[in-house]
Structure 1
């Protein structure tokens, strides 16, 4: 049996932390939780990469915001 066969449809695993999370990237119509998040800049996206879990996506969005010109340092 494949490992993915035991996970429910829409379940994914974060490539950064390994946590399982719900992903609706391929749902029709597209209605995933990440749609409500601020968009990452194009240079932060990996077209070949997999989706990040909510916690890792929030961290990546925060890093991107700090890297923007004019952003306040931590």
Structure 2
């Protein structure tokens, strides 16, 4: 008997590149289901395409500021 297959793309623990806090990231879920979906998107021109996601607090601060700093590496 084989073990049940685990989802190929599931919510994972991540670490915020800005503050270092751990958080759950659904960036690679299929279909896309992540807490960040409820926030306005940060303009793609302000993101590092090789970057990582920010935690809820840092992403909310970036959205509120109207821009995401280039050096944070966030992906949303």
Higher mean alpha-carbon deviation, 40-49 vs 24-33, is at: 40-49
2:57 aligned counterpart, secondary structure: helix
Match of 1:60 among 56, 62, 73: 62
Q: Which structure 1 segments of 5+ residues have no match?
A: 1-8, 66-74
Question: 1:47 & 1:25 partners in 2: Cα distance?
Answer: 13
Q: Which structure 2 segments of 5+ residues have no match?
A: 1-10, 68-76
Q: TM-score, normalised by structure 1?
A: 0.70
Aligned length: 57
Q: Which 4+ residue blocks in structure 1 deviate beyond 4 angstroms?
A: none
Taking only aligned residues, the RMSD between alpha carbons, in angstroms, comes to 1.4
Match of 1:10 among 1, 9, 12: 12
Q: TM-score, normalised by structure 2?
A: 0.68
